[in-house]
Amino acid sequence: MTHAEHVNLIKKAITKKGGTWADFGSGDGAFTLALRDLAGEDVSIFSIDRDKGRLRTQDNAFEKMFPQSQIRFIATDFTSHVELPPLDGIVMANSLHYVEKQVAFLTKIRDYLKPDGKLVLVEYNSQEGNQWVPYPVSFTRFEEIAEFAGYINSELLEKIPSVYWNEMYSAQAIAPSLFSSEFFH
């Protein structure tokens, strides 16, 4: 996929400039770069991946594409506890399918989000797993687990064809504010 395709997949979720975001399981940073492109130079990004080599690849890409960036690379397993400030959003692109206990994990990371913060997901729209996607997250599954984890307003954003499976999708869900009427249902 190209940078423009990465941007297109998440652009409906990144609706304002700036803020504080994290990319959980950021890999080589394709969607971290897309996030930076959409949120602008004032965004503060925490890029989290356990592979230091992939974080170095990301760092090099940021130096070339967006040298004026506020980004912090954190080399750790994204499922472990990470010290983060309150976040406006979390991007998870092709990483949730590595988490076995998805509801518990999404519940845990919801606490990182500010009220009305966004969880932005990119995944294969499949219910069939394999060794590369051990715990698949179709959009239907995402809607279910997001609701169980306490998010509101799950929304499908985009779909694109995939070489590996039928298609990929992007979606978002919102961390409720304490005063949201949907929080109490």
Name 165's Cβ contacts closer than 8 Å, sequence gap at least 6: 124, 125, 126, 128
Identify the pLDDT of residue 161: 86
88: three-class secondary structure by DSSP: strand
CATH number at residue 154: 3.40.50.150
Q: Which sign, positive or negative, has the C-alpha torsion 98, 102, 108, 112?
A: positive
Single out the residue of 165, 100, 98 nearest to residue 126, CA to CA: 165
Q: What is the pTM of this model?
A: 0.93
Query: 121: pLDDT confidence band, cut at 50, 70 and 90?
Result: very high
Backbone angles phi, psi at 105, to 5 degrees: -65, -50
- At 111, list the tokens: 């606490």
**What are the tens digits of pLDDT across the range 35-57?**
999 999 999 999 999 999 999 99
* More confidently predicted of 8 and 166: 8
What total number of domains does the chain contain? 1
List the domain range (segments joined by +) for residue 99.
Answer: 3-184
**What are the tens digits of pLDDT across the range 130-163?**
778 889 999 999 999 999 999 999 999 999 987 7
**With 80 as the cut, is the pLDDT of residue 181 above it?**
no
Q: How far is CA 72 from CA 43, 59, 84, 106, in A?
A: 11, 9, 11, 22
Dihedral class, residue 126 (left if φ above 0, else alpha if ψ from -120 to 50, else beta): beta
123: three-class secondary structure by DSSP: strand
- Cβ–Cβ under 8 Å, residues 43 and 110: no
Within the chain, residue ranges assigned H as helices are 3-10, 30-39, 52-65, 102-110, 139-148
